[in-house]
Amino acid sequence: MLPEKSTSQSFALRALMAGVMIVLAAALRIAPHPWNFTPIGAMALFSGAMFRDRRFAFLFPLAALFAGDLFVGLHRLIPVVYASFLLEVLIGTWLSNRRGVVLIALAVVLGALQFFLITNFAIWEAFDTYPHSLAGLAACYIAGLPLFANTLLGDAFYAALLFGIFALAEKLFPVLREPAPTYSV
């Protein structure tokens, strides 16, 4: 059993490393990239999975996203995009104690799909680009399919990087490993 100080030190180091990785991912968002091929979805999943304190899990990446938006540009759909982003953090919390490749891949698909469905619906609702009919909604979703592909590929690529680098760091530096739960009788 680890002493209490060692356990809290391990959690602090894990949180620090996760935080640095999130800031780096957020910074990559403002670099040139193909449409929707960004680390944002992966960053949300990673944050939800890595931060034990749910306040940090939601607020830290949200602040990083907002900082990036100050460079990329603000728009009227930000509340919808941020709500979808927070839903993706919530999906990431499901991974907190089970970060296997298959489950991460499932979370990536689920996160990208909900982002696609929510944001395309918001575009259809908020703008006059498509008729406000079932056919117009279908046309909006069909037009967004190439962006969905980029979102899915970007989320998968960056999730593999974030979760993979963290797993490698845990292997190389035992202090980063999550302490086993302790039970008292």
- Could you report the per-residue pLDDT of 134-173, keeping only the tens digit for each? 999 999 999 999 999 999 999 999 999 999 999 999 999 8
Residue 53 and residue 57: Cα distance in Å, rounded? 6
Reply yes or no on whether the pLDDT at 37 is more than 90: yes
Residue 26 CB neighbour total at 10 angstroms: 23
Q: How far is CA 43 from the centre of its chain?
A: 3
pTM assigned to the model:
0.87
Task: Please report, for the chain, the start and end positions of each structural domain, with discontinuous segments joined by +.
Answer: 4-174
Dihedral (C-alpha) 53, 56, 57, 61: value to the nearest 10 degrees?
-170
| 47-100: pLDDT as tens digits | 999 988 899 999 988 888 898 889 888 899 999 999 999 999 999 999 988 889
**DSSP string across 73-102:** ---TTHHHHHHHHHHHHHHHHTTTT---HH
Higher pLDDT, 89 or 7: 89
Per the CB < 8 A criterion, the answer to whether 93 and 49 are in contact is yes
What is the number of other CB atoms lying within 10 angstroms of the CB of residue 141? 17
> Has residue 1 got a pLDDT over 80?
no
pLDDT given at position 6: 65
Tell me, what DSSP letter sits at residue 180? P
Helix ranges, 30-133 (H):
40-50, 54-72, 78-93, 101-126
